[in-house]
Amino acid sequence: MTASSPSAESQFDQAIHRYQEGAPAAELIDDFVAITAQAPRLSAAWTCLAWLQLLEDQPEQALRSARTAVKLNPQDPQSRINLCLAMLDTGAKGVREHIDLVLRVTAVAPELATELQGSIADGLRRKPGWKALEKVKNWLQG
């Protein structure tokens, strides 16, 4: 590996850092598309790509990305939440089973529930009035 060809994981870390620094989702989508092309089994990259696509009102693309993320890591609650959001935005059926699974996972791993709450808050800051996310937030709070 040369310096001009950084690993997918280092590209991932750089892109996440840019997101956390406030970079707009639209600027990061191409980065995550490249990362998932370079490392197609990196579930976290698919999860991030789906999230960015949701933030940019690309629900069909987000649905594909989120399905890939869930297939690669079925126990990851964030990828399930992204899938639920994409399903809600596209009118797909079957959201409840994913919410139920997230509730079961977060019941045994409360630190994941805390991470999800942070992610939801971030989503509502970046995309105020996001109806699907408000709905999911309410379902998760019971």
Q: Based on the number of CB atoms within 10 Å of its own CB, is 48 exposed (0-12), middle (13-18) or buried (19 or more)? A: buried
Q: Taking the domains of the chain in order of start, what are their residue ranges?
A: 8-141
Q: pLDDT value at position 142?
A: 74
What is the CATH number that goes with domain 8-141? 1.25.40.10
Provide the whole-model pTM: 0.93
Walk along the chain (142 residues) and give the pLDDT tens digit of each residue: 334 457 888 999 999 999 999 999 999 999 999 999 999 999 999 999 999 999 999 999 999 999 999 999 999 999 999 999 999 999 999 999 999 999 999 999 999 999 999 999 999 999 999 999 999 999 999 7
Give residue 2's pLDDT.
Answer: 38
Under 8 Å between Cβ of 71 and 41: no
- The span from the CA of 31 to the CA of 107, in Å, is 33
What pLDDT does residue 54 have?
Answer: 98
Instruction: Read off φ and ψ for residue 112, nearest 5 degrees.
Output: -70, -35
Selection from 11, 47, 46 nearest residue 31 by Cα: 11
**101 contacts 121 by C-beta, under 8 angstroms:** no
